[in-house]
Amino acid sequence: MIREAILGIGAAATVFCLYLGINAFPFVLLAILLFAMSVVAERKGALTTGRKERTSTHRVEFGNIGGQEMAKRELMEALDFLRFRDKISSLGIRPLKGILLTGPPGTGKTLMAKAAATYTDSVFVSASGSEFVEMYVGVGASRVRELFKKARTLAKNENKDSAIIFIDEIDVIGGKRGGGQGHQEYDQTLNQLLTEMDGMQTTTNPLVLVVAATNRVDMLDPALLRPGRFDRQIKVDLPDKEGRLHILKIQTANKPLAEDVDLETIAKESYGFSGAQLESLTNEAAILAMRENKTKIETEHLRDAVNKVLLGEKTGKRPSPDELLRVSVHELGHAIASESVRPNSVAHITIAPRGNALGFVRQIPEADAYLYTKEQLEGQIMVALAGTVSEELLFGNRSTGASNDFVQASQLARTMISCGLSSLGIVDAENLQRNVLDEEIRRILAEMEERTRQLLAQYKPGIESLSKTLVEEESMTGEAFHEWMKQQKAKCA
């Protein structure tokens, strides 16, 4: 309102002066000056208001964070430098200035920063990297100074001798300098952050610790990562099976579970889920139970929630009967290949459209694997190709539904080549001639396709029969499919 009034009065005064023949330049200059002052005042007020809203009083403890035991232990060890000042000073240890949390989204980096504030009894102030950078030069650097000043002021007001500043998505302002953004705003903001973390304008009491999070550590400027700024880099990775079980127990503590629910099985089936996805899983399961007017969350609700988190809600797509039969044949091909490569690996088969997928076979990993042999990679390629091979066996042709499967199979073949597991031996895949690389990929895929065809050929009558049943029932549990496979193997024997 103030800016509009200034503009209106300025315009009216200018017209009036021109009408009287008076020089209007001083009035125009005064209006511009008043307008600029109002903009600065408004931005400063918005900054202060925004920072006030981001100050956290919610207490989060490390016990509230599931999984991440190694990351929590490493972070707590680093935070002991804040808690035991006398002990570290007697050993001549320099206090840490920064801790960088890296890892995929949803793994609990923000929660760990809040728990750090509780653990050290520090003031907690948070900000996002995107809040610092705007089109106006100097605004980002000013906001960095204001953030550190606010943290110290809050610590003094609350009689605390330390403060923790959490900066989420720090790669926005901490990216490598000299990237040619067209202006120096990014560099000025980063330079101010580097200066603050150097301690040139900081005091030892209250001590300010910067905790930052990013999933793009490769983008950060080297000056930001050197000792004396971010002294610790802690990897907050996706939880393993035990970590997932711990998270599920925490997230279901306030939810009524049926007696048959086995959280360990759900933890096994949710391989690759982050903490945020596991929280969403339990929440979606509760919603599904509410839809059915159930008083407790059952196993099927949790399993349906796994599919929903992976693929999304069921869509309104209505494939024709012929398309449903083809999708059923396609998914059974994946399931048979998966069960042949790794027995008891199929958890659920469905042909209900979800997201962009018309059907889906959910597999259970044998264990959280970090290394793969040549035989395991070949088995994964066979599973990827089995859908289209199954279609070809029963219908005599292929469809466009296997496009993503082909991309996955091609990537697995590339992995085999780059890891020296192909007939080329140990090679540098990046510098390999394109025609040689493509020819080897085609050779691997052709060989795996033939092996897959030989495998599925013996199950052709069973696929033809079961696919019709799957069209009618829409889905099939892993247990029912395992039993069907045993019967088929007995017939083939």
Strand, helix or coil for residue 236: coil
Bridge-based pairing of strands 98-102 and 475-477 is unpaired
CA atoms within 13 A on the CB side of 398: 11
274, 374, 377, 416 from 371: Cα distances, Å: 20, 10, 10, 12
Beta bridge partners of 307: none
Question: Which entry of 196, 269, 298, 331 is annotated as an active-site residue?
Answer: 331
3, 4, 13, 14, 96 from 8: Cα distances, Å: 9, 6, 9, 10, 54
Question: Is 298 annotated as catalytic?
Answer: no
106, 134, 172, 222, 392 from 43: Cα distances, Å: 32, 11, 21, 31, 65
Sheet containing 475-477: give its strands across: 360-363, 346-350, 475-477
Residues with Cβ within 8 Å of 463's Cβ and at least 6 positions away in sequence, in order, are 329, 332, 333, 336, 390, 393, 394, 456
Closest CA to 258 of 211, 299, 221: 299
What pLDDT is attached to residue 194?
Answer: 82
What pLDDT is attached to residue 252?
Answer: 92
Q: 306 near 279, Cβ under 8 Å?
A: no
Q: 312 near 435, Cβ under 8 Å?
A: no
CA atoms within 13 A on the CB side of 325: 8
Strand, helix or coil for residue 167: strand
Q: 126 near 168, Cβ under 8 Å?
A: yes
DSSP 231: -
| Cα Rg of the chain (Å, integer) | 30
What does each of the 493 residues of the chain score in pLDDT, given as a tens digit? Answer: 555 555 566 666 666 566 566 665 566 666 677 666 665 555 544 444 344 434 444 578 888 788 788 888 888 888 887 778 777 777 777 777 889 999 888 888 888 888 888 888 888 888 887 777 655 555 777 888 888 888 888 888 888 888 888 888 888 888 777 655 545 666 777 888 888 887 644 446 788 888 898 888 888 888 888 887 888 889 998 888 888 999 999 999 899 999 888 898 888 888 889 889 999 999 999 999 999 999 999 988 998 888 888 877 777 677 888 889 999 999 999 999 999 998 888 988 988 888 777 888 888 776 666 788 999 999 999 999 999 999 999 998 988 888 889 999 999 999 999 999 998 888 887 888 888 899 999 999 999 999 999 999 999 999 999 999 999 888 888 889 999 998 888 877 6
Residues with Cβ within 8 Å of 273's Cβ and at least 6 positions away in sequence, in order, are 238, 239, 244, 281, 309
Percent helix, strand and coil across the chain, each to the nearest 5: 60, 10, 30
pTM: predicted TM-score of the whole model, two decimal places: 0.72
Strand, helix or coil for residue 369: coil
Q: Token pair for residue 139?
A: 């605004």
Strand, helix or coil for residue 208: strand
CA atoms of 359 and 386, how far apart (whole Å): 14
CA atoms of 31 and 9, how far apart (whole Å): 8
Stated as kind and residue range, the H or E segment containing 266 is: helix 263-269
